[in-house]
Each structure stands twice: as C-alpha cells, then as structure tokens.
C-alpha cells in the first residue's frame, strides 16, 4: 500500500474498489503470517527473527515481508516460497538484496523453484475480490494458529 505525504504527515491511500480492498486485507494477514513464521523458524521466538538476506536479528513487527520477485502482481504476491522476513534496510534501501536473496532461495528450495518464482512475474493472472477474501481468511487462520501454538506446521516449513 502506498503512502502519501500531506501536511507533513504520512497518510494511507485508500484502495479505490472492492477488489483492491480485499487484496490489501489479504496482504496484511499474509505479511503478518510470513513475519511470524520466519521469527519462529529462524530464532524459535515469536518476536524476533533473522533477515533472510543479511541475517541480522530484527523485531518481527519492525521488519518487512520482503519479496524475492519485486512488485505486487497477483500471481506471486502471496506465494510463501518467495516472501520472507527481511529487515527494512535490505528490503527498502538495498532493493531487496536480490543476489543474496536468490542465493538463499537456491539453497532452500533449489533452482527449479527459483526459476518458477522468476517466471511468475510474467503471469497475467488476476484474482477476483472473492479470491482475495478467501486468501485473507486463510492467512488470518494460519496466523492465529501460529500465534496460539508457536509451532510452524510441516507444510509451511522450509527448514526441513
């Protein structure tokens, strides 16, 4: 979600239509889930995790859910394989540290998955408002389960 400055204050831009609002909501839950998942997998802690690219320990609430493939296309926005906890320095000021990110994903998932993630940027898939609402609900449930149990289920792990 973009922010604009008005009278020296940051303000959130409101999505213009139902689909955009649903997409934003899905992204909010997904982002929270990714950051909590990575805190638990990297530090076994619910508050602190390691940045995927530089390894710096950061507070999950002050970190980003950084994408390997830049942009917000529907095809890969909520793909858990291509989104991980990243410190704000790496994600926002170092353009995601693409080379380092790719090296981590090659070790973690292998070259086939990395190639698939790169190809997704060319996929013209458009999700409907209903699709986004379903994804928001899915990641809301996943996030709440993680928060309750403090345990990442096998299907969501990348460290095995």
Out of 15-19, 94-98, 126-130, 141-145, least confident range: 15-19
pLDDT at 1: 47
pLDDT band at 62 (very low <50, low <70, confident <90, very high): very high
Give dist(CA 77, CA 43) in Å, integer. Answer: 25
Supply the pTM of this predicted model: 0.88
Question: Within a domain: residue 30?
Answer: yes
Angle (nearest 5°) at CA 31 between 28 and 56: 145
- Say how many residues make up the chain: 160
| Mean predicted confidence (pLDDT) in 42-56 | 96
By CB atoms closer than 10 A (0-12, 13-18, 19+), residue 124 is: exposed
Question: Within a domain: residue 92?
Answer: yes
Q: Which token pair is 148?
A: 């309750």
Question: Within a domain: residue 151?
Answer: no
* pLDDT per residue as tens digits for the range 79-117: 999 999 999 999 999 988 899 999 999 999 999 999 999
pLDDT band at 15 (very low <50, low <70, confident <90, very high): low
Question: Within a domain: residue 59?
Answer: yes
Between β-strands 9-12 and 3-6, what pairing exists: parallel, antiparallel or unpaired? antiparallel
Question: Within a domain: residue 8?
Answer: no
Find the domain containing 97 and state its range: 17-130
Question: Within a domain: residue 24?
Answer: yes
Mean of the per-residue pLDDT values of the chain:
91
Question: Within a domain: residue 91?
Answer: yes
Question: Within a domain: residue 5?
Answer: no
Q: How many structural domains comprise the chain?
A: 1
Residue 56 pLDDT > 70, yes or no? Answer: yes
Q: Which token pair is 8?
A: 């020296």
């Amino acid at each position: 979600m973009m922010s604009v400055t008005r009278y020296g204050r940051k303000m959130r831009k409101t999505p213009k239509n139902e689909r955009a609002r649903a997409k934003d909501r899905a992204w909010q839950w997904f982002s929270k889930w990714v950051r909590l998942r990575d805190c638990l997998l990297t530090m076994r802690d619910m508050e602190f995790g390691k940045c995927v690219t530089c390894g710096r320990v950061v507070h999950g609430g002050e970190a980003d859910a950084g994408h390997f493939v830049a942009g917000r296309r529907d095809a890969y926005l909520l793909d858990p394989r291509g989104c991980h906890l990243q410190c704000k320095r790496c994600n926002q000021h170092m353009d995601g540290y693409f080379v380092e990110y790719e090296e981590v994903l090659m070790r973690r998932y292998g070259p086939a998955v990395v190639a698939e993630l790169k190809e997704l940027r060319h996929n013209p898939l458009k999700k409907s408002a209903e699709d986004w609402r379903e994804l928001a609900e899915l990641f809301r449930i996943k996030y709440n389960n993680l928060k309750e149990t403090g345990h990442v289920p096998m299907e969501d792990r990348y460290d095995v």
